[in-house]
Amino acid sequence: MVEKVNVLFMGTTIFAKEILTSLLAMKEVNIVGVVCQPDRKIGRKQEIVFSPVKQLALAKAIKLFQPEKISSEYDNLKALAIDVIVTCAYGQFLPSKVLELAKILPLNIHASLLPKLRGGAPIQWAIINNFSETGITLMKMSPKMDAGDIFSQEQIKITSEETYSSLEVKLIALAKQMIEKDLIKIINGQILVKQQNENEVTFGLNITREDELINWDQNAVLVSCKVRGLYDHPIAYTTMNNFIYKIHQVVVSEQKSQKQPGTITLINNLGIFVATKDYDVVLKQIQAAGKKVISASSYFGSSTNPLKVDLVFN
């Protein structure tokens, strides 16, 4: 039975920061180092903003690594005498030689019920694909992406109004509970692993620009799922006459679509009604390129409104 373990933590996002916060609070854990993605320029001003994990590591004066490729820090990591590697939303594949630096095991916290939704965007794809549930998996890392043996899983329901941002909050809370409850049991061999069923594998790969585009030929529920699954980042979009419109919120109406999918069928004080494969959806929050987010109902009665009934989104 271990009393104290040296843990190397790898992660970058707000999700990862919350897991690191839990690990720092555990008396059995000694964080010997933190690895996160290099600083990136973001936004229109291209300003460098430190990741949430980097901010926490600096605040706690933890040894920090930010390699473009993790292998370049191999010798420095080896010197840390690592017992356990814990990864969560890190953003790089780990080669075998890095995984083998962990004397006890390398552990990954994955935001899906593996083997479903292997990849870097499982939260978004769970909503986009209209799943009724998802969860957290604690798994032993392997060289193959998210394919390692499973230690524990817990699930939560996905509501019909769930967004990426709301579901992430719920999954963070669940992951923190699980790591606090199960980590030391896993290290002590008190939780047995089970292999993933390769016949049930699906993927939730990183969102591409193409993935963000709304397909109006889908049914209304799936259009809603796309918008909710990409809110509040990176935001689903549609186009008309070469102009981009980001769609922040939609609701499914009870009005059956009578026109070509993508056609604006009505604009009133409820919003902008758009035809899909079956029922109209109502755009509630919309953002024209370079503009602020506004209520779609603001277009009702506006003489300068570029969006008119019978115009078609691409």
Residues at the binding site for (6S)-5,6,7,8-tetrahydrofolate are 112-115
Crossing angle of the two packed helices 164-187 and 14-25, in degrees rounded to 10: 30
Q: What are the CA-CA distances from residue 142 to residues 29, 107, 253, 296, 302 (Å)?
A: 22, 9, 45, 47, 57
Residue ranges of the annotated binding site are 112-115
Q: How far apart are CA 306 and CA 257, in angstroms?
A: 22
Q: From edge to edge, which strands make up the β-sheet containing 150-157? A: 64-65, 29-35, 5-11, 84-88, 105-110, 133-140, 150-157
Report which of 18, 27, 21, 23 is spatially closest to residue 7, judged by C-alpha positions: 23
**Residue that has been written with the tokens 């933190």 in this structure:** 34
Return phi, psi of residue 228, to 5°.
-70, -35
Report which of 193, 13, 169 is spatially closest to residue 91, judged by C-alpha positions: 13
Q: DSSP label at 234?
A: T
Q: How far apart are CA 122 and CA 208, in angstroms?
A: 13
Q: How far apart are CA 277 and CA 258, in angstroms?
A: 9
User: Around 125, how many Cα atoms within 13 Å sit in the side-chain half-sphere?
Assistant: 18
Q: Count other C-beta atoms under 10 Å from residue 19's C-beta.
A: 24
